Structure 1
Amino acid sequence: MERNTRSSARYIGIDLARFLAVIGMMANHLVAIVGSNPTASLLDQRAAEIATTLTSGIAAVLFAVLGGVSAVFASKRALAAGRRGAAVIGIVLRGLILIALGLWLGALNVPIIVVLAYYGVALILVSVFVAAPSWVLATTAAALWLAGGPLNALARQTLEVVEEAGSPSFESIAEQPLETVRGLLLTGAYPAITWVAYLLVGMLIARALIAANERGKLSRTALGLAGLGVLLATVATLISNWTLANLARFGVAAPEGLDMALFTKFLGMQQFGAPTSPELWAQLVAAPHSGSPIEMLRTVGIALAVIGLLVTLFDSRGAAPGPVTDVFRAAGAAPLTIYTLHLVATSIAYAPVYAGVDLSAGTPWWIAGLGAFGIQLAGVLVIGVILSLLKRRGPLEALTSGIVHTLTRT
């Protein structure tokens, strides 16, 4: 029988998955972005292509799914003590803290849509599910998975908007409250109608891992999740590729004056939080950040594969991490701190751009590209080393937990 002697400790694999999620978002913000810059070096252009393939629409979803995992872990003690109200309130408070931090960071001048306010709203919405049976979570997630994409696309078509809210901020809340709130829930880049489903999937994953750990079958369950994830991602990719190659079967034609091959390429590119159309064919295209059923199936599959594989490798035998692994684990255990510092550092680097400095000769290597990513990755690893040596959590994580524990204590 398998044993996990660290049943009451953090899951190393989950923290490592968090590390990959945050680093993936950083790569998307700093490396993938130069793909549209004709002055970028050939190396940066190739790196941008790879970063886009590996992170676009994937890293953010992994971050969201792990948010659901964290919600279960954070509420486990209160639920075990029979304090359901405290468990729900604790998740709501975490969501409110994320919204406040996200609105503050939303004012930064960066070419990045800040996810935290969206994440906080979705977290508040799923708080009522922390004590619900798993079948309720699964049913709700399935309903949002099937209906969310077409409803979102139809709503945007009716409202005649592609995307609104951008990076929500205190200023946007004051000046455009309706559009900002509507964006957070439906018409934004990371709408709650999609992210709630991702969080619910994460909650189901966490429950499966906890139950398997208690039965001594963690490795088998984690490996099964990884295999399921690979299957889902593969099937979704095949369906999407077939749909894009057979658009004529659905009666889809390129707009007048636009080459069909170019139009097809556009349909498979990153979207703005919803499918390009409420019609069936658009729901079968796995365009990044589209929230279509097939895109959600693909990205959830990838998240399952990453989480399942890492838990299998690092948690099934209950061994403590080595010093090198613990650096990555410690950094992964501080995703909020690292994400915030990443945005602040990026805003400082981009200050000359927004100040009107002439960059016609090209973007400096420390602003975007492999160089900028290398600098920030080195900073992340330094943070990991410090937290590992001190055996501490990230400061924002510790502050959030302190606030929640203080306000839910009875």
Structure 2
Amino acid sequence: MTRIHGLDLARALAIIGMMAAHIGPGHPVTEGYPSVLFAVLAGVSMGIISRGSLAGEGDLPRTRFRLILRGVILVGLGAVLSMLQSSILVVLTAIGVSYILLTPVITWSTRRLGVLLAVLVVTGPVLVAAEHVLSFSWGDHAVADLFLGVYPLLAWLAYTLVGLLIHRLVVSPAHQNQTRRQIWLAAIGLALLAGTQLLIELTGFRVGPNDILNEFGAYLQGEPHSGGLLDVLGSSGAAMAVIGLCVPACRAASVVWASYPLRAMGSMSLTMYVVHVVVTTIANGTFLTVYSIYGCGPQPYLPEGEFGGRMYTPLSDPLDFPGAGNPDALVFSAPDAGEPDWLWLLAAQVIGLLIFASLWRRRFRRGPLEWGMHRVIEGAVGGTSNSPTAASPRG
């Protein structure tokens, strides 16, 4: 089956946005929206993978197993990347967990999925607000991070479910008047984004997760990755708008031709993301930080302030870091917006990955990691395709 060009273009925009967030100075546009777009697109892919089985053209138990195994692989990759470096908060684990938890609902009707989405959107911020007001004692840091970390679980389940519904209602080839549906998707997304931004400006609820808010403010907060209501609605709206604009735009042959390097990047988004994380953390000296923290490996080798001005300072409370008890453990502060060096690293990575993806895509239909994942999954379920040139799913 052929790929959906607009989805590949949207994936490339998500990857480049996350690269800017990881390398450049902090900004709500890059820190929040790209990773949410990546999660929503993962939900669209979930719908694409399960479409044949739901239509009676495939084995539903095998499809479920494929989705769960895909989720497990993403969780594993996310855990490995998180252990190998400390400067980037890896999104793959949250997406993998969402795949695993949402696999049982792929057979639900669209209406039931909509109700589930509404419940997640409403209850997720309740948990965030309750934590701000009551300060729960979770006992296990991993559990607290799963539900209330940078990628709060209920919010990320909602984002993945938004993608699943977008596939059902907008992208699926079973629907006629797809272009009209996609324009409506973009319009609704832009309205959500504009409405939430207006509320944020009027109320000032874009505050950091560690700031003290009253119950209502904690529920509504729009800070990226906070899991507040305005954050979830605005981020979902931005993702809907990007997908709703990219998919119909790529129906024009000129756009398809001009966007080939970006679409090639988007077609192997997992490979692009992992390579970016590794290259960035090697460049800023935070790769293999477990060894660096305990003094058993190389310390950051770049001059202080290089590539975005990341500064290396002692932890105020060593117990808050995996190197607990070591007062010499290092943390990495936000980049200095006045330091231009980060632009060179970002530009070099974007250009390099675009060139690599374009050349690879001319020879293979799947990226290196995508091919490896496909081979593992199909081998586990009894598939036969072991070549990176084998046909890939749409989108």
What range describes the TM-score normalised by the shorter chain of this pair? 0.7 to 0.9
Give, as a single letter, the amino acid of the residue that structure 2 aligns with 1:21: A
* SS state at 1:351 partner: coil
Q: Which residue of 2 aligns with 1:363?
A: 306
Q: Which runs of 5+ in 1 are unaligned?
A: 1-7, 34-51, 165-175, 245-266
Once the two structures are superposed, the pairs formed by residues 181-260 of structure 1 within 5 Å of their partners are 181-184=143-146, 186-211=147-172, 213-244=173-204
Number of corresponding residues: 342
CA contact (8 A) 1:145 1:293 kept: yes
* Equivalent position to 1:74, from 31, 49, 65: 49
Q: Could you say if the C-alpha distance between residues 342 and 356 of structure 1 is closer, same or farther in structure 2, counting changes exceeding 3 Å?
A: closer
**1-side partners of 2:96 and 2:302: how far apart?**
38
Query: % of aligned pairs identical?
Result: 33
CA contact (8 A) 1:93 1:404 kept: yes
CA contact (8 A) 1:270 1:289 kept: no
* Equivalent position to 1:54, from 12, 29, 37: 29
Are 1:314 and 2:250 matched, yes or no?
yes
* SS state at 1:224 partner: helix
* SS state at 1:57 partner: helix
Q: Could you say if the C-alpha distance between residues 86 and 14 of structure 1 is closer, same or farther in structure 2, counting changes exceeding 3 Å?
A: same
**2-side partners of 1:303 and 1:179: how far apart?**
30
**2-side partners of 1:281 and 1:326: how far apart?**
44
* SS state at 2:32 partner: coil
Are 1:326 and 2:288 matched, yes or no?
no
Are 1:384 and 2:357 matched, yes or no?
yes
* Equivalent position to 2:59, from 68, 80, 83: 83
Offset of residue 236 of structure 1: 1.1
Q: Could you say if the C-alpha distance between residues 276 and 108 of structure 1 is closer, same or farther in structure 2, counting changes exceeding 3 Å?
A: farther
TM-score by length of 1: 0.77
Q: Which runs of 5+ in 2 are unaligned?
A: 293-298, 311-340, 384-395
Give, as a single letter, the amino acid of the residue that structure 2 aligns with 1:203: L
CA RMSD of aligned residues (A): 2.6
* Equivalent position to 1:9, from 2, 26, 38: 2
Offset of residue 108 of structure 1: 2.2
**2-side partners of 1:215 and 1:399: how far apart?**
33
Q: Could you say if the C-alpha distance between residues 92 and 156 of structure 1 is closer, same or farther in structure 2, counting changes exceeding 3 Å?
A: farther
**1-side partners of 2:52 and 2:31: how far apart?**
35
* Equivalent position to 2:285, from 351, 370, 376: 351
Offset of residue 159 of structure 1: 4.3
* SS state at 1:214 partner: coil
Q: Could you say if the C-alpha distance between residues 352 and 75 of structure 1 is closer, same or farther in structure 2, counting changes exceeding 3 Å?
A: closer
Where does structure 1 differ by over 3 angstroms across 4 or more consecutive aligned residues?
A: 155-161, 269-272, 275-278, 319-324, 356-360, 364-368
**1-side partners of 2:208 and 2:363: how far apart?**
40
Give, as a single letter, the amino acid of the residue that structure 2 aligns with 1:394: G
**1-side partners of 2:236 and 2:378: how far apart?**
31
CA contact (8 A) 1:68 1:198 kept: yes
TM-score by length of 2: 0.79
Q: Could you say if the C-alpha distance between residues 183 and 134 of structure 1 is closer, same or farther in structure 2, counting changes exceeding 3 Å?
A: same
* SS state at 1:77 partner: helix
Offset of residue 292 of structure 1: 1.0
Offset of residue 386 of structure 1: 1.4
* SS state at 1:107 partner: helix
CA contact (8 A) 2:48 2:167 kept: yes
* Equivalent position to 2:234, from 298, 302, 308: 298
What is the CA deviation profile of residues 79-111 of structure 1, one whole-angstrom value per residue up to 9, with x for unaligned ones? 332522222211111000001111111112341
Offset of residue 271 of structure 1: 3.8
**2-side partners of 1:322 and 1:295: how far apart?**
32
Q: Could you say if the C-alpha distance between residues 278 and 395 of structure 1 is closer, same or farther in structure 2, counting changes exceeding 3 Å?
A: farther
What is the CA deviation profile of residues 181-203 of structure 1, one whole-angstrom value per residue up to 9, with x for unaligned ones? 4422x122112211001100100
Q: Which residue of 1 aligns with 2:114?
A: 138
Higher mean C-alpha deviation, range 399-408 or range 233-242: 399-408
Give, as a single letter, the amino acid of the residue that structure 2 aligns with 1:383: F
